[in-house]
Chains A and B, each alone.
Chain A
């Protein structure tokens, strides 16, 4: 295949346009962020990105993103399992609704969650008498980030579960394995890479999330202020170099995550194709 000469036209045009457009829209603007930070000395940069209020925001952003992604790993796996394996009324609608967090604008999700979990909201009014406060607390950030990451685990695990062949499970059962043994020894090894991919995608998405969080979070410094909001506030104050410094820290972490996820998927594809 690869040694055969490719006769199709348009390679130079399509690749050239792809690289040009990518550079103009993505690469050059992103490089502006890295160039802008050179206006700060190393000491100034360090001071900005390790200021106590900023560090508190990293802890909240990464902690809440991690918890949200973990919640989604557990419930997303269960959701994928139920949607693939069982029949029940309303299943098709639930299946379609799983993508709602992709499709619903984040500002709409934000004001809706803030209203639902406020002291007078449908859920908040029920939780507050039990001493659970969600709005304007880190818990509110976790709720928003769980919502935003919900589709990822379901949509990465679902196709793998669908492709799983019944024969291996039947063989395990006929050899005397109980249901739990079949799941932990046969099913889980097949789906964990997809589960990990979905988890990482939900985590990566949550780190950068802004619109759905800021309304429910109440944005109290040191308590419920996420890092993207810190950048936004510094932008509003025209502290561009400082805003960019914090942005660069987030960009580097996000890019490392993206490369890890793409590496994971590349490895999975290779494993998938060589095993067949």
Chain B
């Protein structure tokens, strides 16, 4: 059993070969049988809960062939739903990026009272059910709401119209960018910004030339998450939309209407576009994480 006596009779390469085999079954890992069992359970669990649903979306979408598929996604109502989804994301994402950068700047670079309360408040939308997110805007802008009669008199529609959908989308994606940037900017500290200031840079120059290059990957990550949620939001948008086909229908709402109408193939065709968006999101996310890891390695080697 003694390894020392074994090395005397083995060549160096044989020894390292043997050592590798031993290393796998050493005392800080599990027996091979247990490892195989664990891996099988995890593959089965993730297979049932993640891979099967993903496969099912595309199988159902193409069940009646490509012609039906393309007819479903080029239907005028589907196109107007895509347009509205894009509009909502194009407004919600930039607004939440500006907020996220601003909140992260205040929280990461300065000390002030009530900071941890502020961070918790920024998280609030995470804890609110999407339906409730829709409800609160109805209470304010709906017909019987705070500004209901004012908006009615001036012929401005918020609820059951595009502004309500945009507001609900902003609410549900509110924390994502801030949540990504706050820990990142806290970890980076403020030495580089202070150096810039001493060398005569203005506040905006510091933001553009020093802070943004440092946080770009984290920011991109936040934008990706915000965009995915903005385009996919269902509950909150459903509550404020009124489901007016061709008018206030987003893609997820269009999926629901087609599904309720038993047009399964069409519902899954539109759903498959959203599933593709999810796959692209996961790929971009993996890429950003890989870049961040690369940066960390190159920083360590310097």
Contacts and interface: CB of A to CB of B under 8 A. Distances in A.
Do A and B pair up? The answer is yes
A108 B274 contact: yes
A38 interface: no
Interface string A8-44: 1111011101110110011111101100100000000
A137 interface: no
A97 interface: yes
Contact of A102 (B49, B202, B225): B225
B146 interface: yes
Contacts of A243: 135
Interface stretch (B7-15, B72-80, B252-260): B252-260
Q: Identify whether the interface residues of A are mostly helix, strand, loop, or mixed.
A: helix
Contacts of A90: 43
A22 B124 CA distance: 10
Most B CB within 10 A of own CB, among A33, A204, A229: A33
Interface stretch (A51-59, A191-199, A205-213): A205-213
A160 interface: no
A100 B54 contact: yes
Contact of A262 (B38, B102, B120, B142): B120
A18 B182 CA distance: 13
A266 interface: yes
Given A105-B231, A204-B127, A211-B130, A8 B109 contact: yes
Contacts of B46: 79, 94, 97-98
Interface string A50-84: 00000000000000000000000001001101110
A274 interface: no
Given A98-B46, A251-B128, A108 B255 contact: yes
Given A82-B42, A240-B139, A150 B132 contact: no
Contacts of B112: 11, 15
Given A18-B103, A258-B126, A210 B118 contact: no
Interface in B188-235: 190, 193-194, 197, 202-203, 206-207, 225, 228, 231-235
A137 B225 CA distance: 32
B41 interface: yes
Interface in B111-167: 111-112, 116, 118-132, 134-140, 142, 144-146, 167
B128 A166 contact: no
B267 interface: yes
A255 B285 CA distance: 29
Contacts of A27: 121
Contacts of A81: 38
Nearest to A201: B126
A170 B109 CA distance: 41
B131 A254 contact: no
B192 to A, nearest CB: 11
A141 interface: no
A86 B38 contact: yes
Nearest to A213: B235
Contacts of A2: 111
A111 B110 contact: no
A6 B111 contact: yes
Given A122-B52, A235-B138, 19 more contacts: A8-B197, A9-B202, A15-B106, A26-B124, A29-B136, A29-B171, A30-B128, A79-B46, A96-B282, A103-B285, A104-B278, A105-B255, A106-B130, A106-B232, A115-B60, A123-B48, A232-B235, A243-B135, A247-B129
Interface of B: 26-31, 35, 38-39, 41-43, 45-46, 48-54, 56-57, 60, 98-99, 102-103, 105-107, 109-112, 116, 118-132, 134-140, 142, 144-146, 167, 170-171, 174, 190, 193-194, 197, 202-203, 206-207, 225, 228, 231-235, 238-239, 251-253, 255-256, 259, 264, 267-268, 271, 274-275, 277-279, 281-283, 285-286
8 contacts: A94-B42, A113-B53, A123-B52, A147-B53, A232-B238, A247-B132, A254-B128, A258-B127
